[in-house]
Chains A and B, each alone.
Chain A
Amino acid sequence: QQQVKQSPQSLIVQKGGIPIINCAYENTAFDYFPWYQQFPGKGPALLIAIRPDVSEKKEGRFTISFNKSAKQFSLHIMDSQPGDSATYFCAASRYTGTASKLTFGTGTRLQVTL
Chain B
Amino acid sequence: DAGVIQSPRHEVTEMGQEVTLRCKPISGHNSLFWYRQTMMRGLELLIYFNNNVPIDDSGMPEDRFSAKMPNASFSTLKIQPSEPRDSAVYFCASSFRNYEQYFGPGTRLTVT
Query: Would you give the 0/1 interface string for B15-58, flagging 1 where the beta carbon is closer than 8 Å to chain A?
Result: 00000000000000001010000000011010010100001100
Contact with A along B80-112 (1 / 0, CB 8 A): 000000000001010100111111111000000
Q: Could you tell me the dominant secondary structure of chain B's interface residues?
A: strand
Which residues of chain A are within 8 angstroms of B95 by Cβ–Cβ distance? 99-100
Residue A60 CB within 8 A of the other chain = no
- A98 and B106 contact, CB distance less than 8 A: no
A96 vs B99: C-alpha distance in the bound complex, in angstroms? 11
Known: A99-B48, A102-B45, A106-B42. A43 touches B99 (CB 8 A): no
Residue in A closest to B41 when the chains form the complex, CB atoms: A106
Contacts of A34 in B (CB 8 A): 99-100
Q: Which one of B43, B48, B91, B106 has the highest number of Cβ atoms from chain A below 10 Å of its Cβ?
A: B43
B contact residues around A45 at 8 Å (CB): 103
A-B pairs under 8 A by CB, number: 56
Q: Give the interface size bracket for A toward B.
A: 20 to 34
Contact B55 A100 (CB under 8 A): no
Secondary structure type dominating chain A contacts: strand
Question: Contact between B98 and A100 (Cβ–Cβ < 8 Å)?
Answer: yes
**In chain A between 56 and 87, which residues have their CB closer than 8 angstroms to a CB of chain B?**
none
B101 to A: closest C-beta gap in Å = 6
Verify B56–A101 contact, CB threshold 8 A: yes
Q: How far is the CB of A107 from chain B (nearest CB, A)?
A: 6
A49/B99 in contact, CB under 8 A = yes
A102 partner residues in chain B, CB cutoff 8 A: 33, 45, 101
Point out the residue from B42, B101, B102, B104 that lies within 8 Å of A100, measured CB to CB: B101
The contact string, 1 if C-beta is below 8 Å from chain B, for chain A 35-50, is 0100001111110010
Taken together as a complex, chains A and B put the C-alpha atoms of A36 and B99 apart, in Å, by: 13
* 23 residue pairs from A and B, CB less than 8 Å apart: A32-B99, A34-B99, A42-B106, A43-B4, A43-B93, A43-B105, A44-B43, A46-B100, A49-B100, A89-B42, A89-B43, A99-B50, A99-B55, A100-B99, A101-B45, A101-B56, A102-B45, A103-B45, A104-B42, A104-B43, A105-B42, A106-B42, A107-B43
